[in-house]
């Protein structure tokens, strides 16, 4: 059985597809590609069906659906607003506990938000990427530990 992770931001054209791509690469590097499924979505439908912002990656945007909670192990939010929206959407308390901010897995601590880079220039995307890459290391460790717990 796969461990399923979905990254969620506002429109699913910048932060969440970036996090999806980075984490998918980390999972592959760790040899866990057969055990971990990685996906992304947005909390709103503004960009559904559109490609990602060209400053991010090639991707088709979609909106997070309440029914997905039942098949996901972790729902990774890119900022506090997404955490709130997703926990409200969760059908059960157990599902709400699946929602975690990405930067909670970063070693530096501090602000848990990955800032929205859409309205800025390339620098904002580079800052976002650095935050995503940093937190992905801790997230991978947490997912690896969860997988080991399933086998034990």
- Residues 7-35 pLDDT 10s: 999 988 889 999 999 999 999 999 999 99
C-alpha span between 92 and 78 (Å, rounded): 21
**pLDDT given at position 73:** 97
CB 85 within 8 A of CB 43: yes
Task: Determine the Cα angle at 53 with ends 52 and 56, to 5°.
Answer: 85
By C-alpha distance, which of 36, 30, 11 is closest to 117? 11
The full set of domain ranges for the chain reads 3-151
pLDDT in tens, 45-89: 655 666 666 666 667 888 999 999 999 999 999 999 999 999 999
Q: What pTM value is reported for the model?
A: 0.90
Overall CATH class of domain 3-151? alpha beta
CB 66 within 8 A of CB 89: yes
Contacts of 109 (CB under 8 A, 6+ apart): none
Q: Quick one: pLDDT band at residue 120, thresholds 50, 70, 90?
A: confident
Does the pLDDT at position 99 exceed 70?
yes
By C-alpha distance, which of 40, 25, 18, 9 is closest to 140? 25
């Amino acid at each position: 059985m796969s461990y399923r992770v979905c990254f969620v931001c506002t429109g699913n054209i910048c932060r969440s597809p970036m996090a999806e791509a980075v984490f998918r690469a980390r999972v592959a590097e760790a040899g866990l590609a057969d055990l971990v499924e990685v996906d992304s979505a947005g909390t709103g439908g503004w960009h559904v069906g559109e490609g990602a912002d060209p400053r991010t990656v090639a991707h088709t945007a979609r909106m997070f659906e309440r029914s997905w909670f039942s098949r996901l192990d972790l729902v990774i939010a890119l900022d506090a607003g997404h955490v709130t929206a997703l926990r409200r959407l969760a059908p059960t308390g157990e599902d709400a506990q699946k929602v975690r901010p990405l930067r909670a897995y970063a070693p530096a601590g501090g602000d848990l938000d990955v800032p929205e880079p859409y309205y800025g220039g390339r620098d904002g995307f580079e800052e976002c990427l650095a935050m995503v890459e940093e937190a992905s290391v801790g997230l991978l460790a947490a997912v690896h530990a969860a997988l080991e717990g399933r086998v034990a």
